[in-house]
Structure 1
Amino acid sequence: MRKPELNIIVPLLNERSEIASFLTNMVEQQDVDYELIFVDGGSTDGSLEYLQQAVFPGRVFSSEVGRARQMNAGVQQAEAEWLLFLHIDSRFSDPRALRRALDMLQQPGSINLAGHFALKFRRREKTPSHAYYFYEWKARLGRPETIHGDQGFLLRKELFFRLNGFSEDMTVMEDTDFAERLREVGQWQLLPAEISTSARRFETEGLWQRQLLGALIMCFRDVGWQQFFVEAAGVYRQQNKADQLQIRPFFALVRQLLKALPVKERFLLWWRCGGYVRRHAWQLFFAVDAMRAFYLKFPPGQGSLRVTNCFEPLWNLLSDNLFGRLVATFALRCWFEIVDLWLRVREAITR
């Protein structure tokens, strides 16, 4: 049997309800020779049994649980030159999405080029949402820490191995970590097709709750505060079956871990986090552009970045110094205290 042009790696864990729809959507892809590789991490809802009986162009494997481990295990079974990492709730509306994406990346001298698709959320609520619009547009910018696994990662297998795959010691944000490591040696390209992903997690846990937790995780990943991720895993397991994500335990954990640090280390941690916040303040200007484009009914990514392009250089000029870092660190410290107080009051009221 000849090797496929593309291997699509899909990690699974208790996703029985999504599999049939995913397979139907993939069968609709045209003019591309692909093979699916599902890697199950120990499903107990019949996902593995369903796939073992289903007919589709691909294979099914099992591995230790953990998205990074599962995707790395899938690559070990891949025979194609090209790899595409997808979530099971990913869908394409364009039947030639994969063909067009591969054609874009299969250019001379593109060995270090990788692609991600334009993100669209599938929501139960059909009313337009500025918040979702903001994240859909931001995902198309390709800026640092705006590329995540729900956008799909398309790249050559050779490039994947040069990066040593996904970091298996990361329990969360392994996709963001991979995207940023790839950025250091290559370049991300926005592919000419849209990928939709289910907003089920946001709708179940709460959009602002999930994004607030995501902001903490992104910041602590960037500054290398591994102790948070070690301890936060236990906090998350306590409420991963709840209808709404509880943020207060994470803030309490941060406070507890900070209290255990010597004063100097505590200050250095806030200092590094302040630097992270300063670099990402461009999102405040971008939010203004996104709001204007949303109310003018522009599709995500097609509005003007006038405010961002005008004020971001000015902000960097004024803040990229010792005083600017101090201000950002102090502002972050105040923000943490205010949000923590608000969460405690909110928790007390809702009891």
Structure 2
Amino acid sequence: MSFDEVPELSVVVPVYNEEGNLLPFLETMASQRELHFEVIISDGGAGDGGAALARGFAAQAPFALTLIEGGKGRGAQMNRGAAAARGELLLFLHVDSRFDDPLAFRKAVDALKEARRTGPRVAGRFSLFFDFDGPAPLPYRFYGAKAALDRPGCTHGDQGFMLGRDFFEETGPFQSALPLMEDTFLAERIRERGKWILFPSRIATSPRRFLTEGLLPRQSLNAILMNLATLGHLSLIESLKESYRSQDAAKTLKLRPILHPLYRKMAQLPRRQRWRLWYDTGSYVRSNAWQIAFFLDVVTGGAGEGKGGRFLALHDRLLGRLIDNRGGNCAAALLTWFWFQATMRFSR
């Protein structure tokens, strides 16, 4: 098949200092069958050998491979890749993604096209598992199971996002101002305006970032960002950006240097606004209490594919309603304040 034909699918992959992961990723792409697709590598200008590797692989690739280069920033890189894409369907992937099903793309495209028959406001993602040599530790099994749920905050970029160009233009672009989690915020805009479906194949992702930075500090930072963005405090996110980027090459993520600038910025807010921020934070935290119930379902083996078990059902039917009030918000705000203070004092 000629590469000049318009592909059914355009795969957009942002890379930065990913020379070691790029070749295995491209080989994974080459294993996909029964679909005419293109791959667009959006390089953030790291200066490693990734760009040369991509150019060399393009000569032998069974798909059209395009390299575009620009400034660093995953959101901006994915936006540039989408602008260069020729297909009507877009798939945003991370470079450490792997597929064990050679028909994963074919099945996903067919599923999305079928879902789009009732309207274009549909996006799809793959079931997620973390690529460990043996059984994944419990926290990773929890995050993998949670990613299959159709609930706010559960859909992330390591699952892959597939959607029509028209729907991406409506809900996008990725927020390039965010230091991370720009894919999660796009996922929530998609959920607000349309719906998500779960593809039949699964995607494997590397746990390397969590293992390098530390699972707890990474997830803590993710939660803080999600809270601030959900509440509309993007100016406070700016205080996190530079301190996070200064640790970009560090091994373990250190929360204290990140949280102190945020704390100083919050202290400058008028007292009423500061109290409102903490109350709204409590409301956000309280609304995510269902994750404790779902974690118990995962521990006890009660969670199914894309659904919870008896603990989540109990929360949704009873416990969640009992705490959905001002008292529940205030209690969650107080607990979160104590956590924030303890994290600043005792974390590295």
Q: TM-score, normalised by structure 2?
A: 0.92
The answer as to whether partners of 2:25 and 2:98 remain within 8 angstroms in 1 is: yes
Q: Residue 149 in 1 paired to residue 157 in 2? A: yes
Q: Residue 38 in 1 paired to residue 46 in 2? A: no
The answer as to whether partners of 2:179 and 2:244 remain within 8 angstroms in 1 is: no
Deviation at 1:334, TM superposition (A): 2.5
Deviation at 1:226, TM superposition (A): 1.9
In structure 2, C-alpha distance between the alignment counterparts of 1:137 and 1:171, rounded to whole Å: 26
Partner SS state of residue 66, structure 2: strand
Output aligned runs, 1:72-221, within 5 Å.
Answer: 72-107=79-114, 108-123=117-132, 126-221=134-229
Could you tell me which residue of structure 2 aligns to residue 333 of structure 1?
337
| Range with bigger deviation, 161-170 or 107-116 | 161-170
> How many percent identity over aligned positions?
36
| Range with bigger deviation, 326-335 or 178-187 | 326-335
Partner SS state of residue 242, structure 1: coil
Tell me which of 264, 269, 281 is aligned to 1:256.
Answer: 264
Tell me which of 1, 6, 11 is aligned to 1:3.
Answer: 6
Structure 2 gap ranges (5+): none
Partner SS state of residue 54, structure 1: helix
Partner SS state of residue 265, structure 2: helix
Deviation at 1:335, TM superposition (A): 2.6
The answer as to whether partners of 2:256 and 2:345 remain within 8 angstroms in 1 is: no
In structure 2, C-alpha distance between the alignment counterparts of 1:62 and 1:54, rounded to whole Å: 16
Deviation at 1:250, TM superposition (A): 2.4
Could you tell me which residue of structure 2 aligns to residue 47 of structure 1?
50
Letter of the aligned partner of 1:332 in structure 2? T
> Which aligned runs of 4 or more in structure 1 are off by greater than 6 angstroms?
none
In structure 1, C-alpha distance between the alignment counterparts of 2:326 and 2:249, rounded to whole Å: 44
Letter of the aligned partner of 2:122 in structure 1? L
Letter of the aligned partner of 1:321 in structure 2? N
Partner SS state of residue 106, structure 1: helix
In structure 2, C-alpha distance between the alignment counterparts of 1:199 and 1:233, rounded to whole Å: 23
After superposition, the C-alpha distances for 1:119-176 in whole angstroms (9 at most, x for unaligned) are 111136x354111111010011121011111100011111111124212232322101
Partner SS state of residue 323, structure 1: helix
After superposition, the C-alpha distances for 1:192-244 in whole angstroms (9 at most, x for unaligned) are 01101111111111111211221212212211222332121221233322221
In structure 2, C-alpha distance between the alignment counterparts of 1:119 and 1:284, rounded to whole Å: 20
Deviation at 1:303, TM superposition (A): 7.9
Tell me which of 224, 237, 255 is aligned to 1:247.
Answer: 255
Deviation at 1:313, TM superposition (A): 2.9
The answer as to whether partners of 1:114 and 1:154 remain within 8 angstroms in 2 is: yes
Could you tell me which residue of structure 1 aligns to residue 322 of structure 2?
318
Q: Residue 278 in 1 paired to residue 294 in 2? A: no
In structure 2, C-alpha distance between the alignment counterparts of 1:303 and 1:42, rounded to whole Å: 41
Q: Residue 307 in 1 paired to residue 315 in 2? A: no
Residues 31 and 127 of structure 1, relative CA distance in 2, 3 Å threshold: closer
In structure 2, C-alpha distance between the alignment counterparts of 1:139 and 1:80, rounded to whole Å: 27
Residues 104 and 221 of structure 1, relative CA distance in 2, 3 Å threshold: same
Letter of the aligned partner of 2:105 in structure 1? L
Q: Residue 62 in 1 paired to residue 62 in 2? A: no
Q: TM-score, normalised by structure 1?
A: 0.91
Aligned residues: 339
In structure 1, C-alpha distance between the alignment counterparts of 2:167 and 2:246, rounded to whole Å: 38
Deviation at 1:191, TM superposition (A): 0.7
Q: Residue 14 in 1 paired to residue 17 in 2? A: yes
| Range with bigger deviation, 127-136 or 21-30 | 127-136
The answer as to whether partners of 2:149 and 2:307 remain within 8 angstroms in 1 is: no
Partner SS state of residue 203, structure 2: strand
After superposition, the C-alpha distances for 1:67-120 in whole angstroms (9 at most, x for unaligned) are 111111111111111110001111100000011111111112142111000011
Q: RMSD value over aligned CA atoms?
A: 1.8
The answer as to whether partners of 1:289 and 1:303 remain within 8 angstroms in 2 is: no
The answer as to whether partners of 2:150 and 2:306 remain within 8 angstroms in 1 is: no
After superposition, the C-alpha distances for 1:14-34 in whole angstroms (9 at most, x for unaligned) are 111111101111111111110
Structure 1 gap ranges (5+): none
Residues 266 and 302 of structure 1, relative CA distance in 2, 3 Å threshold: closer
Deviation at 1:340, TM superposition (A): 3.4
Residues 170 and 257 of structure 1, relative CA distance in 2, 3 Å threshold: same
The answer as to whether partners of 1:285 and 1:312 remain within 8 angstroms in 2 is: no
